[in-house]
Structure formats: C-alpha cells, structure tokens
Amino acid sequence: MPTKLIPRRTLIVTIIGALLLIYTAAEPFWVEVAEYTISDPDIPESFNGVTIALIADVHHGPFFSQERLARFVERVNSLEPDLVALAGDYVHRSPIYIEPAFAELAKLRAPLGLFGVLGNHDHWESATLTREQMQYAGIILLDNRAQWVELGGERIRIGGVGDFITDAQDLEPTITAVAATDFTVLLSHNPDYVEEIAAAAAEKVDLVLCGHTHGGQVTLFGQWAPLVPSQYGQRYRTGLVGVRGMTTIISNGVGTITPPLRFFARPQLVLIRLVKSE
C-alpha cells in the first residue's frame, strides 16, 4: 500500500510553527542591553556620564534558576554601572526563592549604591522577607522613601514608591526636599503610576524607572502585544515614554511569568547614561 505524502504546504506550515515555538522558548535566555542617554540641564556636572543599570522583573523561581541569575549579575557588573536601580518582582511563585535571589543580587557592584522597590509579586510571596533580604544584600529600600546621592560635592535625588497594585504610594518623600532645578529619579515598579503623578510631579521628577509589563512578553513581532498588564494598553508596554516633561523608561524585565515564553520582547538589562545638557 503506497505511503501518503504530507502536502508541501502543510509541511512548510508545520516547520514554521515548530521553529516559532522553539524561538519563543529560547528568547527568554537572550538578554539584550538596552541603552538610553538622558540629557538634562538639571544633571550636575559631577554626574555627567554617570550610568544607571535598571534591573526589573527577575522572577527567580521555577523558570529562572539561581545559576542563571548569578550569570546575569556577572553581566551587570561587567558593564561597571555607577548606580543600580532594581524595580521589583524579584521572585515567582514561592517565598522559598527570596533568599537565594538576594544571595545573588548582593553581588551587584556600583559605587553610588544599590536601590530598589518592591513589585506586586514580592508582596504576594512575602514583602516582609523581601525587605529583610534586601537589607542583608545591601540594597537600599525606596518604597515611599528617598535620599540624596552625592558625587563630587553635588547631588541628585533618588526615590521610590510602593507597588501600584498591592501597596500605597507616597511621592512626598521624593519631591518635598527638591527644587525644580534638582535632578530627580523615581523608581516605580508599575509604569501606570506615572499617570497619577503627571500633573503634580512634572516639575520635580525628571526620570521614572519601571518594569512590570515584560514588554508584553509575547508580541506581534515587537509592534503590539495582546496582553499588557497596564490600564493604558500599549502606551507603557516598553521603552521610553515622555509625559509632561518627565521621561519614563520601562524595561522588558529579565525573567518571565507563566508560561516562560517570549516572542519579540527580549529580556533586558537597561543601561542609562546621564548627560548634562546646556
């Protein structure tokens, strides 16, 4: 009895489908360095050329091993950032991953300090344990707090707010002590918070650093995502967004949630260079 041949069109579609599936499973391991230059006259001369590494959504857990996180930390350190900003969601699915996650994040090196806020997953797993481990790791917690970062006798302000979904947000510690001519950086895990402060903080906050959206995680070739965890659709999916004079940078994040797939939303290590403009 003759063997039935698979139609050529069916075979091509099957091969393409298999290749796309393989790619979506492989892309989470393909971390890119997304570089931005922020030019602002409020940046002090001493901070001209200073670099900030933004790390978001590590999601250490069943799909992101401790060994993989260790390699990522080594990559961050190889870029020699001056300051590291961590935008939350350090673990996924269980509090058992919190301590090992911060055992690796404690190895981050930046002469101007390590600063971080919590994300929604950190509250869901254990905000108390996360805060404790951040302290042990030498990461300064900025949930509804702020402080000055000094260099060469000059300074910038860096602050943060609690997660927009699971916590309260208090911007006052960040902006109360600053003048319009001070350069101010705000960490907010969720970029939707930008809309809440756009009118009140436009003259006081220069740069907002966020994560949470994963770049959509699975997109239509990087142009559109069917699911973005934001009230504003694609607006805060990824990249640089300007709102009333504030610049917001949204990282695609490092890890994933379930399913552990990405498609044209590569995981990112964001490197920001500050440049003083006239």
239-258 pLDDT, tens digit each: 999 988 899 999 999 999 99
CATH of the domain at 20: 3.60.21.10
Which residues touch 228 (CB under 8 Å, ≥6 apart)?
Answer: 213, 216, 234, 236, 237
Let me know if residue 13 belongs to a domain: yes
pLDDT band at 21 (very low <50, low <70, confident <90, very high): low
User: Which pLDDT band, with edges at 50, 70 and 90, does 22 fall under?
Assistant: confident
Q: Is residue 2 in some structural domain?
A: no
- Structure token pair of residue 134: 């951040």
Do the domain assignments include residue 112?
yes
**1 inside domain:** no
Residue 216 burial (10 A CB sphere; 0-12, 13-18, 19+): buried
Mean pLDDT of the chain: 94
| Spatial CB neighbours of 116, under 8 Å, sequence gap ≥ 6 | 85, 86, 87, 88, 134, 139, 140, 141, 142, 160, 187
For the chain, percent of residues with pLDDT exceeding 70: 93
* pLDDT over 60 at 215, yes or no: yes
Query: In the predicted model, what is the mean pLDDT of residues 26-54?
Result: 98
Q: Provide the percentage of residues in the chain whose pLDDT is more than 90.
A: 87
Task: Transcribe 237-266 into DSSP letters.
Answer: SSEEEEETTEEEEE---SS--SS---BS--
**Pairing outcome for strands 268-276 and 207-210:** unpaired
Number of separate domains in the chain? 1
- Whether the pLDDT of residue 229 is over 70: the answer is yes
Query: Element (H or E) spanning 232, and its range?
Result: none
Q: Flag whether pLDDT at 1 surpasses 60.
A: no
Look at residue 210 and tell me if it is in a domain: yes
Q: How many residues does the chain have?
A: 278
Residue ranges with strand state E in 103-169: 114-116, 139-141, 145-151, 154-160
In angstroms and rounded to an integer, the radius of gyration of the C-alpha atoms of the chain is: 20
Structural domain harbouring 59: 8-276
Q: Which of 257, 255, 215, 256 is nearest to 236 (CA)?
A: 215
